[in-house]
Structure 1
Amino acid sequence: MNKFELKYRLSFFIGCVLILLSAGVQAQQKLQQFKPGALWMDDKGNHINAHGGGILFYNGMYYWFGEHKGEGSNNAYVGVTVYASKDLYNWKNEGVAFNVNDDKASLTQRGSIIERPKVIHNKHTKQFVMYFHLELAGQGYGAAYAAVAVSDKVTGPYKFLRASRVNPGHWPLNIPGGDRRQRINPDDYKTWWTDKWREGVEKGLFVQEHLYSGQMSRDMTLFVDDDSKAYHIYSSEENLTLHIAELSDDYTQHTGKYIRIAPAGHNEAPAIFKRNGKYYMITSGCTGWDPNAARLLVADQIMGEWKLLPNPCVGDGADKTFQSQGTYILPVAGKKDAFIFMADRWRPKNPIDGRYVWLPVQFKNELPVLSWLDEWDLKVFD
């Protein structure tokens, strides 16, 4: 080997080492911004797999729970994953919080549908309680179950308790007693989307139909109020009407008390927060995996009257919620009036590649406003 060859090989070797060292430094660099819609890597260098998720803040740490999705199916072949973060930008993969199984008799067998998992902590029982929308394997979206699981540890594993429809045998609090006694004949309302049909839905057509089997529960979220009372908010009545249902003191069951919101309004993907004693809910319409315009609902009491207001999104892309659909609204710990709207940009042909759109909730005339930002950080709340 002559001097020229030796010098060339040495230079090539040093160059490779420098490239590898540079890559290692870059891999260890911490994120300091949110970039809505971009690939979001965890501590292992993989795109975060926690779709339709929600976040629990506990003991100084944020825990992000979400659906684990594969490349070719939206069905659950792994379960619910969980990630942990102190700063909301950088996330450590903590593994699978809730596992599906291979038992063909199980309601949560591999291939079932698990959507929009949320976890809350019960300060009295010290348990962590998870709810999610469950559909049975091979049965499409016919079950419309609410599933419950619990754990003594925030990251799990979560033990499955039960899955069923909600509040069987109970009428909503905001259907008057007189309307409960008037039997509705389904044959009179066969043609959907007519004025007469809407009138039937508002009276409780689907509530009556599912009174004894329990009300349907699909897209959902959980909310714990200042008095520690917890509520299950879900899309019901064939995705036509939202329900807010009170949970028991241990958060694992429904009490039978619930209300209906916007009957026949076709709302799903509820995300709720509270500010200055007022409740706000951002939802979406029902267009499958395709995005649509968000809706805003406001109430002075969580079980009180909810008022429908215009789309909270403004600017370019507002009519499609910036190509996303909401899943949760996160209060940022330690910051006043700081809320993050969490949304999913679904990729049904390759579900694992679904992206996350996080945007700061701003306020104008005491109402939430969402605007697009290519990148941003928590200083926006200062």
Structure 2
Amino acid sequence: MSFSRCARAIVAALAGAATVLALTGAPALAAPVTVTNGTQFTDTSGAVVHAHGGGVLKVGAYYYWFGENRNPDNTFRYVSAYRSTDLKTWEFRNHVLTQSSAAELASANIERPKVIYNAATGQFVMWMHKETATDYGQARAAVAVSSTVDGAYTYRGSFRPLGTYMSRDITTFVDDDGAGYMVSAANENRDLNIYRLTADYTGVAALVRSWPGDVREAPALFKRNGVYFMLTSGATGWSPNQQKYSSATGITGTWSPWANVGDGTAYQSQTAYVLPVTGTAGTAYLYLGDRWGNSLGGTVNDSRYVWLPLRFPSATTLAMDYYPTLVIDAAAGTVSGPGGYTAVVARHSGKCVDVVSASTADGAEVVQYACNSGANQQWRRRDLGNGYVQLEARHSGKCLDVADASTADNARIVQYTCGAGANQQWQVQGAGGGYYRLVARHSGRCLDVTGGGTGDGVRLIQYACGAGANQQWSG
């Protein structure tokens, strides 16, 4: 065959393949997307995605997301399923479990549904936490199965693992050898147990590891490069708290002592799941968290999502930073925060603009502090297109703000939810030598370090602009 005929044949084959993909509805390769944190996601129809306390399973090119979809009184209504190729564009597929799926679901609480696939049986198996609609006295695990990932699931009933153990917050995990595991909080949430499942994943075979008396819930178990990680929260109801993790080289242990991860409230969220996102560049690990609507004065269906990339300082440790938005490239297997963050450094002291204690709260004080790698010392300029910028803190997504929009000298500088106020708008004015001043739009005063102090923790204020190096910044 001549080169030209060969080339034409290749082109024709590629065109034919494209036609097959179009006819079969196979998804196109996912492009990078930006996901905004602390929001309610919407599906392709514009409806709110209700997949709270859920988990994600990849089947073929699609990620399937299952989660709680509740009645207005917070009781069980559905387990709803959505699918996506890029982890942003979610298509509603089905209410895969409903109140009419079984008699005991007509008036119930169903929480934290997780679906795993059993390659030996060809069945998709859902595990969940089951209670009555009126109290949490049952503390049972429940199981449902389906031959299709997003079809109707057949409810198999609820029980206490091994007939003995209470079972509340729950997750599942399938190891590299095909063994299935279920993890749940027991003993009024005082204990956390790992159970090995039966070969078909529909029952509990054995208790293989327990953390007695540690009071951990909301478990997420995953494996990275041969190391197991267990990420959990404390038990404080709907209120967020300090999350902790443990790691081990074998699922039965020895597990490391619990260590803190993220800030003291997990950036106002609670673990739902950790999703490995594998692509051409490797595997990223994506924290999926719920900012519960109940903690915001609403219901579960008012909840918002907090998704964050996990990073691994060593083979057995993990860390989690906050980003207001994420860039997810599912095809490449990468998850990252947006670029453009940098330290803002005072000329007179060499210290960085810092949010005290890495707080994510409105009104948290801003000081100068010895520069380090903390996300509470990293800021991004948001160009407002009017000659002014906002300065957004990486760890919280909040903006540098003059407290109470004061126009007086010595007014405190804080972080606050970004808005349209002129007290969050700053003009960048050259000060010579590569330094600049930050001038507040509402007052015409400059960002200043109190009294020109050079120590850690000296408060930032606004003050009438002058020539002092304590009003000059780099970065």
- Paired with 2:155 and 2:69, the residues of 1 have a C-alpha distance of 17
1:61: how far off? 0.8
**The one of 233, 237, 240 aligned to 2:183:** 233
- Paired with 2:112 and 2:302, the residues of 1 have a C-alpha distance of 17
Q: Hey, what does 1:130 align to over in structure 2? A: 126
> Is contact 1:73–1:351 with CA below 8 Å preserved after alignment?
no
Count residues with an aligned counterpart: 297
* 1:43 lines up with 2:44 in the alignment: yes
Letter in 2 for 1:327: A
- Paired with 2:51 and 2:170, the residues of 1 have a C-alpha distance of 15
> Is contact 2:94–2:151 with CA below 8 Å preserved after alignment?
no
- Paired with 1:233 and 1:299, the residues of 2 have a C-alpha distance of 15
TM-score by length of 2: 0.61
TM-score by length of 1: 0.75
**The one of 142, 151, 160 aligned to 2:146:** 151
* 1:217 lines up with 2:167 in the alignment: yes
Q: Hey, what does 2:194 align to over in structure 1? A: 244
* 1:112 lines up with 2:62 in the alignment: no
1:129: how far off? 0.3
1:330: how far off? 0.2
- Paired with 2:208 and 2:137, the residues of 1 have a C-alpha distance of 22
- Paired with 1:306 and 1:74, the residues of 2 have a C-alpha distance of 36
Q: Hey, what does 1:185 align to over in structure 2? A: none
Q: Hey, what does 1:329 align to over in structure 2? A: 274
1:307: how far off? 1.7
**The one of 301, 310, 325 aligned to 1:352:** 301
> Is contact 2:193–2:209 with CA below 8 Å preserved after alignment?
yes
Letter in 1 for 2:109: I
Counting only pairs closer than 5 Å after superposition, residues 22-33 of structure 1 correspond to structure 2 as 32-33=33-34
**The one of 231, 237, 262 aligned to 1:288:** 237
- Paired with 1:260 and 1:281, the residues of 2 have a C-alpha distance of 12
> Is contact 1:107–1:163 with CA below 8 Å preserved after alignment?
no
Letter in 2 for 1:340: L
* 1:142 lines up with 2:137 in the alignment: yes
- Paired with 1:357 and 1:125, the residues of 2 have a C-alpha distance of 34
1:39: how far off? 2.5
- Paired with 1:239 and 1:107, the residues of 2 have a C-alpha distance of 23
Tell me the secondary structure at the aligned position of residue 338 of structure 1.
strand
* 1:91 lines up with 2:37 in the alignment: no
Range with bigger deviation, 52-61 or 370-379: 370-379
Letter in 2 for 1:294: Q
| Structure 1 residues without counterparts, runs of 5 or longer | 1-29, 169-213
Q: Hey, what does 1:338 align to over in structure 2? A: 284
Cα pair distance change 1:97/1:365, threshold 3 Å: same
**The one of 278, 285, 310 aligned to 2:259:** 310
Deviations along 1:168-193, one digit per CA (max 9) or x if unpaired, are 3xxxxxxxxxxxxxxxxxxxxxxxxx
Deviations along 1:294-353, one digit per CA (max 9) or x if unpaired, are 01111111122222232121xxxx110000000100000325241100000001223211
> Is contact 2:32–2:328 with CA below 8 Å preserved after alignment?
no
Q: Hey, what does 2:55 align to over in structure 1? A: 54
- Paired with 1:31 and 1:332, the residues of 2 have a C-alpha distance of 13
- Paired with 1:68 and 1:43, the residues of 2 have a C-alpha distance of 17
| Structure 2 residues without counterparts, runs of 5 or longer | 1-30, 337-475
1:31: how far off? 8.8
* 1:361 lines up with 2:356 in the alignment: no
Q: Identity of paired residues, percent?
A: 39
Q: Pick the structure with more strand per residue.
A: 2
Tell me the secondary structure at the aligned position of residue 264 of structure 2.
helix
Letter in 1 for 2:278: A
1:156: how far off? 1.8
* 1:375 lines up with 2:374 in the alignment: no
Q: Hey, what does 1:301 align to over in structure 2? A: 250
1:102: how far off? 8.7
Moved over 6 A (4+): none
Tell me the secondary structure at the aligned position of residue 378 of structure 1.
strand
- Paired with 2:213 and 2:165, the residues of 1 have a C-alpha distance of 15
Tell me the secondary structure at the aligned position of residue 88 of structure 2.
coil
Q: CA RMSD in A?
A: 1.7
Cα pair distance change 1:69/1:161, threshold 3 Å: same
Deviations along 1:269-306, one digit per CA (max 9) or x if unpaired, are 00111111110011000100000000111111112222
Letter in 2 for 1:347: G
Tell me the secondary structure at the aligned position of residue 376 of structure 1.
strand
Q: Hey, what does 2:68 align to over in structure 1? A: 67
1:137: how far off? 3.1
> Is contact 1:69–1:75 with CA below 8 Å preserved after alignment?
yes
For the pair shown, the structure with the greater C-alpha radius of gyration is: 2
Range with bigger deviation, 343-352 or 322-331: 343-352
